Amino acid sequence: MIKPHGSNTLNPLYVIDDEQRAERLQAAEKLPKLLLNSAAAANAVMLGAGYFNPLTGFMNREDSLSVAQSLKTTDGLFWPVPVMNRTNSIEGIEVGAKIALLDPNEPGNPVMATQTVEAIEELSDADIELMISEVFGTKDPEHPGVKTFESLGNFVVSGPIEVLSYSYFQDEFPGTFNTAYEIRDEFAKHGWEKVVAFQTRNPMHRAHEELCRMAHEQLGTDGILIHMLLGKLKPGDIPATVRDACIRKMVEVYFPPNSVMISGYGFDMLYAGPREAVLHAVFRQNCGCSYLIVGRDHAGVGDYYGAFDAQTIFSERVPEGALEIEIFEADHTAWSKKLNRVVMMRDVPDHGKEDFVLLSGTKVRQMLSKGEAPPPEFSRPEVAQILMDYYQSTV
């Protein structure tokens, strides 16, 4: 199993010991408090779970700008996106103090972490504009990631943290939400040394299913990690509970036993395309995966990114040796009417558009809303049924 990013061992920031955690939670009630926004809370979850190894807390302004511009901290650590605790209000917070960070996503806003405040800095409009331009590749305020980023506040509260709660993820997704160290332990129990990861924020159709098989077979891996985002999405995206049910049914029926691990992580989607693809690689390396599948428009949204920008960033912006995980570059996959199987389009140059089963997302949603199953070449019937039930319940 490959090493974590930036260290020989994984160093999650969650206080694992139940007694110690209870003591820290009790002590935190007497500390000055800061209500996090959802983005900062998601960063805290990822720091606690080991996905953001070797970071020890929230970045300061200088590191955040350095990461945005050059994909490395001021100390030279390779990192693809700023990891900040931004806020609109710093009332009652002082440099050098220990503060309690409150969860914005749980009723009553309980304490989810404590932070030692090393610096409180104000971002200028130019700072925010630079980070948006570099990380998202666009300044369009209609881009969902840009829209969120602009709303997070101008103050940056930096410093190391201790995580005391994984927010709502453990309760809402029991058996699916896993930390990076839990995933590593599970791989070890299975005897898996080489694992290929598949990232998803959507239910998986036939092409995705076959893409996992192709990568598994071509790379000779011991297993597949299907790893789904469980945090906040843009309006219109399918809820995580529905996606989880779809993926579990697909794996149960169509994959050999003990060949796939289904898991999820507690992060809000950035929709940052290429930069987010590199972030995905970092935290899959921290999980112990040897490979990450990066396909067409990975982590993209709308028409903001080129179809394969999320692949080329690895050769153009990721320095040699910066990451140990390798990328499996996938082309667009679809059912071939000629061959009666799913293929990568680049592998069948004799095919025209009419030789594939191709359906737009809009068309599929319309069919599901009407109780019509997409063709079996596109979607497994068991998965389509779950999606039809969901769409019809929202009408």
Phi, psi of 204 (to 5 degrees): -100, 125
Taking Cα atoms as reference points, which of 3, 118, 16 lies closest to residue 53?
3
Spatial separation of the C-alpha atoms in residues 209 and 2, rounded to whole Å: 25
Spatial separation of the C-alpha atoms in residues 358 and 312, rounded to whole Å: 25
Neighbours of 4 (CB within 10 A): 25
Catalytic amino acids? 201-202
Q: What's the Cα-to-Cα distance from 317 to each of 277, 278, 326, 391, rounded to whole Å?
A: 12, 10, 14, 40
Taking Cα atoms as reference points, which of 246, 248, 299 lies closest to residue 270?
299
Q: Are the CB atoms for 120 and 84 separated by under 8 Å? A: no
Q: Output the six-digit token pair for 302.
A: 């709308």
Render 7-71 in DSSP notation, one character per residue.
Answer: SSS----B---HHHHHHHHHHHTTS-EEEPPHHHHHHHHHHHTTTTTT--EE--HHHHHHHHHHS
Taking Cα atoms as reference points, which of 43, 73, 68 lies closest to residue 322?
73
Q: Which amino acid is at 60?
A: N
Report strand pairing: 155-163 vs 111-116: antiparallel
